[in-house]
Amino acid sequence: MVSLPETKDRIKIPDGITAKLDGRTLKVKGPKGELQRTLKLSRVELKIDAGDIVVRCDMPRRAEKAEVGTFASHVRNMLVGVQEGYEYRLKTVFAHFPIKSTVKGETFLIENFLGERSARKATILAGVKVDVKGDQVTVTGIDLEKVSQTAANIETATHIRNRDIRVFQDGIYIVQKAA
């Protein structure tokens, strides 16, 4: 009997975490919260089998092999997120004008950046918490993509335009990523 080639990845579900499959939507629940993700890829299948989440594809092409690996990585990130959470640390650096950072609702405000009169704004995505203590900014949450995108929004908001970046190195920069 000839077995057909397949690509699959098994991810063990840790203790204290429950995973449910509803059609093509995976829901993961743990001590920190609940996440869900929908698999929209056509030929890649998702199963829960004996305490493992199995991502597989029969007779895969090169792109489908990559999709299996990508979605398996997303599942691992979900499991780590609901168990431990994610945290990014940013640092405010200035040499010319003191930068004042505050959180106002779903917006991160950067005031007095390079002496500008109007505040620069960065969007804080839903489910993400941002704390400011002095020159340290901490971004935390359970969804890695939202946490990293919020940190990137803050860092990008202080992008310097029309000045020599070798001289003007002011800004808010990501200094640490932790799970």
pLDDT digits (tens, 9 = 90+) for 65-114: 899 999 999 999 999 999 999 999 999 999 989 999 999 999 999 999 99
Average pLDDT score over the chain: 91
Query: Do residues 93 and 164 both lie within one domain?
Result: yes
94 and 159 assigned to the same domain: yes
Mark which of 66, 83, 100 sits at the end of a domain: 83
Q: Please give the pLDDT value at position 96.
A: 80
Question: Would you say residue 20 lies in a domain?
Answer: yes
Residue 123, in any domain of the structure: yes
Q: Domain of 61? A: 6-83
Buried b (16+ CB within 10 A) or exposed e, 49-62: eeeebbbbbeebee
Q: Give me the pLDDT at residue 178, please.
A: 86
62 and 97 share one domain: no
pLDDT tier at 3 (50, 70, 90 boundaries)?
A: low
Q: Are residues 72 and 59 in the same domain?
A: yes
The number of folded domains in the chain is: 2
In a shared domain, residues 105 and 56: no
> Are 98 and 155 in the same domain?
yes
Mean pLDDT in residue range 119-128: 96
List, for residues 11-46, the tens digit of each pLDDT value: 999 999 999 999 889 999 999 999 999 988 678 889
